[in-house]
Amino acid sequence: DADIAVDGFTIIEADSREEIEEIASRCPVLQLGGSVEVSALSVIAPGMQSAVK
């Protein structure tokens, strides 16, 4: 949405979306009435991690 400003971002590596959502649920901005969006940047096939580092 063009009406939404992004004030910052954090990149978190985790084994599952559920793990990321649990981490995001503890974000301090939520206590101030803000919001958090969880999005995947990319999915790397097992065994390919060393090729992109």
Q: Would you call 23 exposed, middle or buried from its count of C-beta atoms within 10 A (0-12, 13-18, 19+)? A: middle
Specify the pLDDT at position 18: 93
Range of 26's domain?
Answer: 1-53
Q: Are 30 and 36 in contact (CB under 8 A)?
A: yes
Domain total in the chain: 1
Reported as half-sphere exposure (CB side, CA atoms, 13 A), residue 13 has a value of 3
Specify the pLDDT at position 1: 52
Among the residue ranges 5-9, 16-20, 29-33, the one predicted with the least confidence is 5-9
Higher pLDDT, 11 or 31: 31
Specify the pLDDT at position 52: 61
- Residues whose CB falls within 8 Å of the CB of residue 11, separated by 6 or more in sequence, listed in order: 41
Asked if residue 6 has pLDDT above 80, the reply is no
Query: What is the average pLDDT across 25-41?
Result: 90
